[in-house]
Amino acid sequence: MRQQVLVFFSRLLTKVQRPLLHYINVHRPVQKLIALGGDTVGVTAHREELQFLISVCSKLEKDPSLLCHVLESENVKGDSAASEEEGAAGPNKQKPKQSLFKAVLRLCLCQSQTGRLAVRAREALFGVLRAAQQEGPARLIAQSDLSQQVVRRLCELHHEIPLNTHPCDITAADGTDWRIEVSSEHYNAMPPEVAAVRRFLCWVQYCSSLLRESHEMVAVTIADSITEHYLRGILQEELLHVSELRILRSTALLSAVLQHLNPSPLTHRLLHFLLGEDRGPEKRSDNGPPLRTQLIQRCNHLSDEISLTTLRLFEEILQLPEKMCMYSLVLRNLESRRYISAVHEESRGHDSEAFEGSDELEEDPYFTDGFPDTGLRLNNGNQGRGTESGGAEQSVRSFLSLVPEEMKSSDSGFDTYLQDALVQYHSCCTQASSWGWPLSLQPPSSGHSGQDEFYEGLFLETLLNRLGSILDQPYEVNLQVTSLLTRIALFPHPHIQEYLLNPFINLAPGARTLFSVLVRVVADLAQRSQRISNFQEMLILVRRQLTGETPAEPLGHETLCKGVVVLEEFCKELAAAACVTHHPLGV
């Protein structure tokens, strides 16, 4: 019987062109039918219920002002005394218990034979929120239970993901577009953990779309609810947990969420949740926000899997088009340029950038008037930048010649890195184009003195410490650390490029840069290699195994040799980064 009533009202609302929902004899039965949709008494077919809700949402999408007739309390008081009591309470103090959004959102997650029912339910709600752009309807939606229902389903889907799900199964999940129809049979054919991850990320992407298209008032309400109940209520507890499984799952989920979020109020709240509110330079003795500190320290965790998963999280953070990411993690500690020796600052110029071994480097046959096998040359036609181009060329030579020839396994590949660096640099420039960064080096802060201790900040400190252990770490961790450092070095901020890509700066006492860390690593390598016979032959064999040219087989000093191969390639990456960041380049 209920199905027949639903079909009747669906046809009534669809066929009749005149507005009907503002009549009390129409919207009161509609409200009761919506409320009965979640009733456990009797069985209502999803198809008829969805068709009815779609017809209601269609009317609301065409005329959002009708929301006030549908979003009313389920407990309607008919007598005059109750009406007077409601009027005395005032419209601003009465928060109605909505049932429309609860009914639609319940169907948004239902599984059908074709998956079409859930998609149509999502589209119906999406259309209503997109149409409600005036303040009146938007305020009604913001005061409704929509945000609670959205975050409640997000929390439920989070808990459905098994604790032992591998991080790669979470971050590599595909097919999460909420508009794609996925049948129940298709979900049943998947491994349970993969199906749970896909449902969760599909809902995350749907929430992101709702936030992007909704009125600002509605978007802020939903974002606040997700921050309070999901991020701080569930995710923070798991991130700070001591269980390795909980740490891995929550960290991987964070990376996946960042991949599927569009810029929205939720993005800003998520970054503040992860990185905190502090904006001043860090000090070694400071205790920063607990979650930020814990996450950064886990980049150097005893568990390599936790370190790898956390490093990938920060890689996702740095790819967001948000200025605060780079500022909180890197720039806040480089603004003062305290890494430069104050004694030499006044006399600092291009002449002071002469490297002790520059004469020998200029005789290196690898370098002529450009870079071999790349087709790219420094444009010497611009006389105004001739000295800068010369400094860039010396930087490139310094990185390329850092690893001695007798410790190298290959001299090729620089041309590929140069092309890749050019693409990544353009991507970073596009990402930072609206951030208002300076184009040239800024003078050191007025408080800069020889007694000031430079601190690169917890994030860079952790990455440089990891880099310093490159000869003793797993291959996968080394790849992630060097990839992250290269990404940071390619951002178009002069202080970042000076600190990470300039080998010739006069360092303040106790300060270190990326180049100085690499020099120590190479010195350590030189001592170790002398104690290993046929070291270069072993390096070449390990490289061939890594590239798949020869079958993998156990070797002595395998970790060390893989670290050396990564070190070689990283120096080529940095040389390419130093080249492309000191434009102009001609083809």
Tokens read off for 119: 């998609």
Give a yes or no: residue 291 inside a domain: no
Of 46-50, 285-289, 447-451, minimum mean pLDDT range:
447-451
> For 396-422, how does the pLDDT look when each residue is reduced to its tens digit (9 = 90+)?
999 999 999 989 888 888 889 999 999
Distance CA 556, CA 416 (A): 30
Tokens read off for 348: 């600092």
Read off the pLDDT band of 153 (50, 70, 90). very high
> For 189-201, how does the pLDDT look when each residue is reduced to its tens digit (9 = 90+)?
889 999 999 999 9
Read off the pLDDT band of 40 (50, 70, 90). very low
226 and 315 co-located in one domain:
no
Tokens read off for 315: 């890689």
Distance CA 27, CA 92 (A): 22
pLDDT at 251: 97
262 and 332 co-located in one domain:
no
pLDDT at 390: 53
Q: By three-state DSSP, how is residue 355 classified?
A: coil
Q: 68 near 140, Cβ under 8 Å?
A: yes
The answer on pLDDT for 264 being more than 50 is yes
Contacts of 288 (CB under 8 A, 6+ apart): 276, 278, 282, 458
> For 51-61, how does the pLDDT look when each residue is reduced to its tens digit (9 = 90+)?
888 988 888 89
Nearest to 54 by CA among 103, 5, 112: 103
Query: Mean pLDDT, to the nearest integer, of 167-178?
Result: 86
Q: Could you tell me the pTM of the whole model? A: 0.84
256 and 368 co-located in one domain:
no
Read off the pLDDT band of 86 (50, 70, 90). very low
| Residue 212, domain extent | 145-274
Q: 482 near 570, Cβ under 8 Å?
A: yes
259 and 383 co-located in one domain:
no
Q: 125 near 105, Cβ under 8 Å?
A: yes
The domain tally of the chain equals 3
386 and 251 co-located in one domain:
no
pLDDT at 69: 81
247 and 328 co-located in one domain:
no
Contacts of 302 (CB under 8 A, 6+ apart): none
562 and 539 co-located in one domain:
yes
Give a yes or no: residue 235 inside a domain: yes
168 and 213 co-located in one domain:
yes
Give a yes or no: residue 60 inside a domain: yes
- What single-letter DSSP state applies at residue 227? I
Give a yes or no: residue 50 inside a domain: yes
The answer on pLDDT for 456 being more than 70 is yes
Averaged confidence pLDDT in the chain: 83
Query: Given 205, 239, 274, which residue is the final one in a domain?
Result: 274
pLDDT at 354: 41
567 and 438 co-located in one domain:
yes
Give percent of the chain above pLDDT 70: 83
Give a yes or no: residue 281 inside a domain: no
Q: 205 near 176, Cβ under 8 Å?
A: yes
> For 319-353, how does the pLDDT look when each residue is reduced to its tens digit (9 = 90+)?
999 999 999 999 999 999 999 987 655 544 444 44
259 and 120 co-located in one domain:
no
Q: Which residues, in sequence order, are bridge partners of residue 586?
A: 377
354 and 402 co-located in one domain:
yes
Give a yes or no: residue 555 inside a domain: yes
The DSSP H or E segment spanning 378 is strand 377-378
350 and 431 co-located in one domain:
yes
Give a yes or no: residue 292 inside a domain: no
> For 547-585, how does the pLDDT look when each residue is reduced to its tens digit (9 = 90+)?
888 887 778 889 999 999 999 999 999 999 999 998 644
